[in-house]
Structure 1
Amino acid sequence: MDTNSVSPLPPPEAPLAMMEGEKTPPGSASGNEMPPPPDEKRYEEDSENAWNCGSWFEYMLIVILSTILLVGVLVLTLFWILFYRGGYSWSENRQLQFNLHPTLMVAGFVTLSGFSILLYRLCRCLKHIYVKLLHMFFHACAIPCVALGFLAVFESHNLSDPPKPHFYSMHTWLGLVTMGMFVLQFVIGFFSFLVLLCCENRTYKCRSTMVPIHASFGLVNFMLAIATCITGLIENERQVPGEVLMNTRNSEIEHYIVNSLGIVFVAIAIIVTVAVRRSNAPATAKVYVTERI
């Protein structure tokens, strides 16, 4: 038989190799060249899963309670200072200048920061970039409140006769730690989640790594602010003996107002923690509220 009359068959490995090559598109073998999904897709899982009546009830309850508590604690502080502490001043009266300290600290560290944290829970119909900008705006508004509140108490101690020492109590030390963490959080958040968006795809992994760290330390910073406010109320109560407070009707009412402020601070800590850590999405969803930063 002539071997040149029959063409040899190709080896069996060749078609398999060609088929495998056709199945794999060029440039997608490792999967690293595919761009990450944009931030707007973070809400897709929640939007695909319809809320039931219980989820809507929980959402509305958190919105109403958090708004009442965060605004109410500032209103109660203003009422306390205006009607029982003589109002406000700057440099003319040491005690009235000190009154700026609790009001501005509550406004910056509790009310504005609390709303800034809850934005990721409350503003579910806005685009993610808008929520980021609002989050930064509320924190930016809190900075001058904190700075002026710190300056007010610092100068009021210097104006005392004799001058009071600085940074001697637990309240002052907690305040320093809270302010330091607040500034650090703002700087890291500004550069990590706004400036790095100019090269979004290349910095996606870095930002996704920073998300749980930033969210966790933000909640810790808020809890430190609540603890600082409560220790400040305790320090204020210890400055005047209890027997003196109960001598007049106004002093007795002021005592109850201060205690009510402490209870409201505890309620705010509870509602903000529950709102941030709770998600209405089903168990199959992979994006949670604390990751939407």
Structure 2
Amino acid sequence: MGRSHRQSYGGGEMSVAASLVFYFLVFLAEILMFGLLSLVLFWVVYYRGGFKWREDPAREFNFHPVLMVAGFIFFMGHAMLVYRLFRCCNKLTAKLLHTFLYLLAVPCIVVGVITVFDSHNLRVPPIPNLYSLHSWLGLVTVGLFALQVTHTLVVGFFSFWLLLCCEQGTASFRSGLVPVHATFGIITFMLAIATCVTGYTEKAFFVMRDPETKNFTYSLMGNEAIIINTQAAALAALGILVPVMVALRPFRRRWSERLTEHL
């Protein structure tokens, strides 16, 4: 039996116990996502000197961690949770909100990539690009994200406007794309977390040095080291919470059958 885009999701299919667990996890995830974004802003402003553009490449770099956390973790994390959180919305509304959040992530990631290349190339002397584990993971993550966005826009356009001309005949094709898109979304999110954690570690070793002796001070666990490690711990927690909420069967929705169904 095919399903229409005009059908709504069933909102009350979870048991009471599952609902309590789910919304507790949502509460934790929201605290972590908003807290992480606030903490990375505080870190770069208070400890790393704030923001400048190309006239100061070192401080231009500060856009990079903020924008990457905003794009890959905050906006993408919320985009992944749309289908679980907004249980009263119909499928079309949920898809549009999902796409909108993905599109908000795009300029964050594009500008974040530009600033890191600028901060390397405009230094005197320049810093090499794409040599570290962090940068390699970042390339893979950005590539997968680009595929996700392309899939969302291109396939979304065809399914919403062209494929709906033959909705019953294309229902199985459209439903078959869902698990592929969801799986790659989780993979991209997990890779983004791994990339962020390696980036924090790399940055800590570069900047946390005694100005006189040039010895590393990261191991002394000063306030900045604690803030960096707290951000990494929040990322690790989100790497557990978000995939659990997206993938576990008790938290999934069932369709609410309507007169638009195809027999």
The TM-score bracket by the shorter chain reads 0.7 to 0.9
How many residue pairs match? The answer is 246
Partners of 2:18 and 2:251 within 8 A in 1: no
Show the counterpart of 1:36.
Answer: 2
Partners of 1:118 and 1:272 within 8 A in 2: yes
Out of 71, 76, 92, the residue aligned to residue 129 of structure 1 is 92
For 2:183 and 2:248, the matched residues in 1 are separated by 14
- Identity, in percent, stands at 38
Give unmatched runs, 5+ long, in structure 1: 1-34, 288-293
For 2:114 and 2:218, the matched residues in 1 are separated by 32
Matched, 1:269 2:232: no
Displacement of 1:121 after TM fit? 1.1
Partners of 2:84 and 2:251 within 8 A in 1: no
> What amino acid sits opposite 2:199 in the alignment?
G
Matched, 1:195 2:195: no
Partners of 1:193 and 1:207 within 8 A in 2: no
**1:141-220 correspondence to structure 2 within 5 Å:** 141-198=104-161, 199-200=163-164, 201=167, 202-220=169-187
Q: Which is bigger in relative contact order (C-alpha 8 A, separation at least 6)?
A: 2
Out of 206, 211, 224, the residue aligned to residue 191 of structure 2 is 224
Show the counterpart of 2:53.
Answer: 90
> What amino acid sits opposite 1:276 in the alignment?
V
For 1:189 and 1:84, the matched residues in 2 are separated by 38
TM, length-normalised to structure 1: 0.78
For 1:68 and 1:141, the matched residues in 2 are separated by 20
Task: State which structure, 1 or 2, has the greater radius of gyration over its C-alpha atoms.
Answer: 1
TM, length-normalised to structure 2: 0.86
Displacement of 1:93 after TM fit? 1.0
Partners of 1:171 and 1:232 within 8 A in 2: yes
Single out whichever of 70-79 and 273-282 deviates more from structure 2. Answer: 273-282
What is the CA RMSD across the aligned residues, in angstroms? 2.3
Displacement of 1:63 after TM fit? 2.1
Out of 241, 244, 248, the residue aligned to residue 278 of structure 1 is 248
1:118/1:189 CA distance change after superposition, 3 Å: same
Partners of 2:245 and 2:251 within 8 A in 1: no
Q: Over residues 125-167 of structure 1, what are the superposed CA-to-partner deviations in whole Å (9 max), with x where a residue is unaligned?
A: 1111111001100110100000111111111111111101110
**1:65-144 correspondence to structure 2 within 5 Å:** 65-144=28-107
